[in-house]
Chains A and B, each alone.
Chain A
Amino acid sequence: MIQRVPINVNDIIPASRDVLNHQGISENSVIPDHIISLFEDAVVVFKLKAKPIAIIKKVTVKEFDIIFRGEGKNADEAPLENIYPHSGNLALFALTLGNEIVEIINDLFNKNDFAPGAMLDSVASMAADKSVEILENYIFNNLSERNLTKNDSIVLGYSPGYCGWDLSGQKKLFQHLNPGKIGITINESFLMTPLKSVSGVLVHSDKEIHIFESSFTFCRYCKNKTCYERMEKILEH
């Protein structure tokens, strides 16, 4: 069953330090007032114009196996294929912040208002990430109410396009979940519209399952290593 999950825009407003960090401004910097104002203005616009909404659908490991294999374009070995078979609960998800916020960002850039445009873009990107956290918590709390969680279990989201799960995985994911219902579509390159949308799978399992060595073939080329940050978070949890 596909379930709509409402997301309150106030719950996904990112912290100023995260947004400024996204703009390359380190935590230790003294931030001038005009940059703080740019951030605050972006948050005001975001609160007014972002329309976050998400859907989730429970799937079995067997069903997800087909979705994950997708069009057969995944890396030879990907961390997720060692994770999801150990999960008792898997759910597909798709979420969007709506098209209006994307149009406003584009308008700002088109009018050469680059600084407010880039700031709003950063706020929206961080908010999309926070929306995934909301879904992770939603699933966890749901399972917890039914006594299906353990002290060392966690729900974590994975998306096509990262860590060896090829973006073409979106095709089967979309066939299964039908996010068109909340206005998300994919093009022939499997990319989503509206731009500020995220899709993937939420995996509930023991924490340790999500910890892996970044020694896959594709890790060699990857500089940002966001997997480390995710794993650090798990360990802190």
Chain B
Amino acid sequence: MEILNEISQQLQNGNDEKVFELTESAIEKNIKPKLILYEGLISGMNVVGGQFRKHEIFLPDVLLAAKAMYAGMELLKPHFIKEKMPTLGKIVIGTVQGDLHDLGKNLVGIMLKGTGFEVIDLGKDVPPEKFIETAIDEGAKLIGMSALLTTTLPVMKEVIHLLKEKNLLGEIKTIIGGAPVSKEFAEEIGANAFAFDASNSVIVAKELIEEK
């Protein structure tokens, strides 16, 4: 449908006003909200994610597209009250206890939401237990942890240790990231995955959700 292509294109251009108008218009034309979401908004965001990974566009471009995505999603939300807003999965994210640096974590949240994940953002300075309690309460299968301060890296290990203690390893999977975090560290502490940037976190989260 032409209008869905237009939504996708304007989203790629980061034109939030146009995406809002077109989404409104698509709803008025009785196009199914699920179709608008997947073939308009998420389709556009997937193109943007791909271009970013290939270094064809820059982070600010992705963030402008994300704003456009949110503009469209706000209009769609009321139409998903009966049948819940479809998601790729639920993920609990936060900056670990002892750390207030949340720019990276915020970008991860924006990109995950933009590709269709339901994101529960616990903010910053999040104690290990809080990650797990929230994941259990919300039925989330993924926990994403971020840190910038090198001295807070052990908190990530503690979350994984607590998951092990509660026999939840495998049932709830973990992704870690942040400037000082490395793949080696992720392997050593038993995290399920390491994401080297916000865009990569989307790929990694999708892979973990699809894993049996």
Find chain A residues with CB under 8 A from B184 CB.
220-221
Count of interface residues, chain A, beta-carbon cutoff 8 Å: 41
Known A35-B58, A161-B149; judge A195-B100 contact (CB<8 A): yes
Does B162 sit within 8 A of A, measured CB to CB?
no
Binds A, one of B24-32, B43-51, B150-158, B164-172: B150-158
Find chain B residues with CB under 8 A from A114 CB.
63-64, 66-67, 106-107, 110
* Cα(A224)–Cα(B150), bound, Å: 10
* Cα(A224)–Cα(B66), bound, Å: 27
Closest to B70 in A: A112
Q: Is the interface of A mostly helix, strand, loop or mixed?
A: loop
Taking a contact as CB atoms closer than 8 A, the residue among A75, A115, A189, A195 that contacts B64 in the complex is: A115
- Which residue of A34, A122, A161, A220 has the most chain B CB atoms within 10 A of its CB atom? A161
Q: Is the interface of B mostly helix, strand, loop or mixed?
A: helix
* Cα(A165)–Cα(B188), bound, Å: 22
Does B197 sit within 8 A of A, measured CB to CB?
yes
Interface string of A15-31 (1 = CB under 8 A from B): 00000000111000101
Find chain A residues with CB under 8 A from B179 CB.
223-224
Closest Cβ of chain B: how far from A134's Cβ, in Å?
Answer: 22
Find chain B residues with CB under 8 A from A119 CB.
60
| Residues of chain B at the chain A interface (Cβ within 8 Å) | 14, 16, 58-61, 63-64, 66-67, 70-71, 97-100, 103, 106-107, 110, 124-125, 149-153, 179-182, 184-185, 188, 197
10 more CB-based (< 8 A) A-B contacts, given A161-B150, A165-B151, A218-B150: A25-B58, A75-B151, A115-B63, A160-B151, A161-B149, A164-B151, A189-B97, A191-B100, A220-B185, A223-B185
| Residues of chain A at the chain B interface (Cβ within 8 Å) | 23-25, 29, 31-32, 34-35, 38, 75, 109, 112-115, 117-119, 121-122, 125, 160-167, 187, 189-192, 195, 218, 220-224
